Amino acid sequence: MAGMTLASSTNVAEEKEKLMRLEIENSDLKAKVERLHAQNSSENASVGSGPSADVAGLEKLLSDKNAEVAKLISDKEKLEAYTKKTLQKFQEKYLVALQDCKAKLKEKHDKIEALEQRSANEKISQKREERLLSSAIYELGLGIMQKGMNNR
């Protein structure tokens, strides 16, 4: 998905560059048409149909370039809209996955804490039982020794 986004941004950059070149060419052609109109009006009708044919050709070329620029602008807008939509879907998908992972991680941490607390409590109980057992054995031994001394 990341490769697609990189390719889309590269395409957008290429389209922008092409659009800029066409706009520059378009402005150059407009300037040329204006110069030819000015030249044609200054020469009056003595030259004939030559310059007007050039002007008509240039105007057609200009309209073709304008149509190409409009198409590129439309394509660029479509590509940007698609990229934004795809990026939003991508972000939503992985945001949900990230939240799910965070919830699972918190659950695991809570379980670990509970197990650690249980283990600590069991160790305390075990030590208490050991002390009680040792105390009972000691008292039992002491009782046997006292009985043995009383029987003598």
**pLDDT tens-digit series, residues 10-26:** 777 888 888 888 889 88
Both tokens of residue 95? 């945001």
Unique residue bearing structure tokens 């198409």: 71
CA nearest to 6, candidates 92, 91, 86: 86
Non-local (6+) Cβ contacts of 47 within 8 A are 40
pLDDT at residue 116, as a whole number = 97
Quote the pLDDT of residue 99. Answer: 94
CA atoms 59, 65, 70, 73: torsion sign = negative
Torsion angle (degrees, nearest 10) of CA 127, 128, 129, 130: 50
pTM for this one? Answer: 0.41
- Number of C-beta neighbours around residue 29 at 10 A: 18
Name residues whose C-beta falls within 8 Å of residue 58's C-beta, 6 or more positions apart in sequence.
Answer: 29, 32, 33, 36
CB within 8 Å of 72: residues ≥ 6 apart: 15, 18, 19, 22
C-alpha neighbours within 13 Å on the C-beta side of residue 111: 6
User: How confident is the model over 70-86, as a mean pLDDT?
Assistant: 94
Quote the pLDDT of residue 47. 47
- The rounded percent of the chain whose pLDDT value lies above 90 is 55
